[in-house]
Structure 1
């Protein structure tokens, strides 16, 4: 059965509950994109119109849509084994992927626990942190530290770490306590503002001595709060402070990993190795939902006695299809020298957003790796509508440019063709000018 556009939208509005969507407004007012297929950096709707995917479909399609090597890896694996549990069972894709992950991960990360998505990867990290300290005789360590504006996923545990008030507010009182500290302000290092941020983290860890299990950080850029970028010195200070207070450092590379922030891992770019690192989104190149949590032998060894077993897992933990694709993603990065190939694109994004910063009404234009972002002023933050004006104009011009409130940003595939990147950057400029009334 092949449905036309009208039928798809009718069924959608009758039955589907969309994420991060005011549904009354959506049902009454929104004419949604109806996507039929995708290839490379482009989405194609049911009428055949193409849209440049400005955010890699929520940051997952790092290699572009339907990358031929990933599709072929899926086909090969599906012909042999689609699924088996990982309970008392193993298989080549899971074992080989773990070896490949450890090979590219910051040392001394050496163990891999699989899960379904970035949120559950961070849920694993939280539970590992809590049980680790119970296993080693420090059960009082039950508290966590995160940055103001932090976002680490949707499940209940990681909602505790959410510093975006509009996301956390509905669940207040039902989540664990988390201590929030300010990130360093944008700008040059060693300013007074930076020292305030570093001092706040040091003070929280000192006051919580013996009670804090882990500091959890998005490295270098906080995505969901509005692509807030900060100085890497915070990661280095956090590592030193965690060591001094015997606190675990958890680095959430779900968004920033796999080249999004420039290097393979944002934390490694800052010269920092965490005790626990989480990966997702680009992990399978947007083909299947799968993620992983990597730890050191120090943490793993604390779970080896039978009485310390980690009783946690998912039905699709280590799914063979996802594992085969994730291994192929790493092969593409290595064999096609993807980071080197993307470096000129990163430079173009940085220059383009620097130029966009000269437009009246634009503030805090910034870039890091394959991310470019700017703020529209005056604005109302995450709930502002200026970014949505830019979104509507970008859609008309042929790009999917979903904003973060009044923050307009791009995070395109690392493989976006040069001509497509030129077109995308032009659409961003024209859309921003339109939103600000400067067209």
Structure 2
């Protein structure tokens, strides 16, 4: 069966795309391992792991079995007044992996919803603590946290795809993006904006939210772990909650199981998603400490005011449990370290390309930052002709491949990046 591309172009909205002049789309018939198979038979090595989620690749027998076995029992059941083994076992596994102070799990539909829940947690916590004036959040410029309204309100208010909504969103505090590169000496001056803001406004601030170590959509920027360490200490000093958005960075992508571990810190609230379900079904989670959960539960509302229809979907929980077990069993540290080494070696030549501003590698992330914005449609077509799936955006050409990628497959990705960027 072939895809009706004319109908697709005329009637179906794709992410961040105009309906008047949509970007081209490529019909995929199947996927296996690290390969997308187009309807015309062409095979593309996937360099984005389906937006950073398919860390085990596609059509994985263990994940397939988890879905199949659960489907034979029940696909879905409401989570209000009901529980089930896939949800309980998933949360047990998750809590065995996250930093120790995190002990409570809210299972959400998607990354954006996990951020919405995290913000609700912070606000309800302070309402229950008789400090209802703490209603503001601190976020970082170049930050991205999702497309729903509370999440958009903590994305960069001007340099982002959400700027047209800025007047409709709650107004929060924004700090300069950390100007302290991951692999350079740290300067204490980087902390001055956060120190000054907390000193002046802490009585109104509920939480600091940030993407630890890697700012994703804001430019694949890698910043210094010391920024996290000092931010955590300042939040403690001024009684402000610390929210870590680990949706993109969680489960090994940066070379640590969670990016917060680069700084040896733990947040009060953490959001995870993407790789959580191995790219099979939409699922995310918001975790918090006992203290945060106790405060929320003592509020006038009596509980956390959120409850999605498909919360803790059994199919998603079953495959997520299998995904997390694979991460532990597959020696992700060695996988990611090997990818990082190969990316560093094979992408280094681009440092001398006239069109390339900077080459960056951290864990299983390889980035070319270009001097000029890229033509997404043109580069996408070139990559497909080269037999790879790489999705550039803004000034960036990057890869975040599945952890299971072979050295040969990864070399094909890096060769394509060099060819297009030259």
| Cα offset, 1:164, TM superposition | 5.7
1:15 and 2:4 aligned: no
- Corresponding residue of 1:185: 179
Matched, 1:249 2:215: no
- Residue number in structure 2 paired with 1:25: 21
1:109-136 superposed Cα distances (whole Å, 9 cap, x missing partner): 0110000011000100000000000011
Can you list the C-alpha shifts for 1:1-52, whole angstroms capped at 9, x where unaligned? x3x34xx1011012101111133222xxx54211111111111111110111
Alpha carbons of 1:272 and 1:21: their partners in 2 closer, same or farther (altered >3 Å)? same
1:373 and 2:367 equivalent? yes
Task: Calculate the TM-score normalised by the size of structure 1.
Answer: 0.92
- Gaps in structure 2 of 5+ consecutive residues: none
Match for residue 286 of structure 1?
A: 279
Bigger mean CA deviation after superposition, 158-167 or 387-396: 387-396
Q: Is the 8 A contact 1:391 1:431 kept in 2?
A: no
Q: Tell me the C-alpha RMSD between the 2 structures.
A: 1.5
The alpha-carbon deviation at position 387 of structure 1 amounts to 5.7
1:194-209 equivalences in 2 (<5 Å) = 194-209=187-202
Does structure 2 conserve the Cα–Cα contact (< 8 Å) formed by 1:333 and 1:339? no
Indicate the residue corresponding to 1:223 in structure 2: 216
1:243-282 aligned within 5 A:
243-282=236-275
Is the contact between residue 124 and residue 299 of structure 2 (CA under 8 Å) also seen in structure 1? no
Aligned pair 1:343/2:343, yes or no?
no
Among residues 399, 409, 414, which one is paired with 1:420 in the alignment? 409
Q: How far off its partner does 1:216 sit? A: 0.3
- Please, which of 116, 138, 142 is the counterpart of residue 145 of structure 1? 138
CA distance in 2, matches of 1:11, 1:317: 32
Q: Residue 388 of structure 1 contacts residue 403 of structure 1 at CA under 8 Å; is this kept in 2?
A: no
* Deviations 1:176-228, CA, capped at 9 Å, x for gaps: 1121111222545445xx43331001111111121000000101111101201
- Normalising by structure 2, we get a TM-score of 0.96
- Give 2:384's aligned residue: 395
8 Å contact 2:93–2:324 — kept in the other structure?
yes
Q: Helix, strand or coil: the match of 1:83?
A: coil
Q: Aligned partners of 1:349, 1:69: CA distance in 2, in Å?
A: 28
For the 8 Å contact 1:118–1:254, the answer to whether it is kept is yes
Structure 1: state its 5+ residue gaps: 434-439
Judge conservation of contact 1:342–1:415 (CA < 8 Å) in 2. Answer: no
SS in 2 for 1:208: helix
> For residue 314 of structure 1, what is the aligned residue in structure 2?
308
Cα offset for 1:100? 0.8
SS at match of 1:241: helix
Asked if structure 2 preserves the Cα contact closer than 8 Å seen for 1:277 and 1:293, the reply is: yes
Corresponding residue for 1:238?
231
Shift in Å, 1:96? 0.9
Equivalent positions of 1:38-57 (< 5 A) are 38-57=31-50
Matched with 1:333 is 327
Q: Between 331-340 and 89-98, report the one with greater CA deviation.
A: 331-340
In structure 2, what is the Cα distance between the partners aligned to 1:413 and 1:135?
Answer: 42
**Match for residue 103 of structure 1 among 93, 96, 101:** 96
Contact 1:218 1:251 in 2 (8 A): yes
Q: How much does 1:262 deviate?
A: 1.0
- Deviations 1:350-404 (CA, angstroms, capped at 9, x unpaired): 2223332122221221111100101122x1xxxx235654333212111111112
Are the counterparts in 2 of residues 276 and 296 from structure 1 also a CA contact under 8 Å? yes
For residues 326-363 of structure 1, give each alpha carbon's deviation from its aligned partner in whole angstroms, at most 9, with x where no partner exists. 11111111222222233212211122233321222212
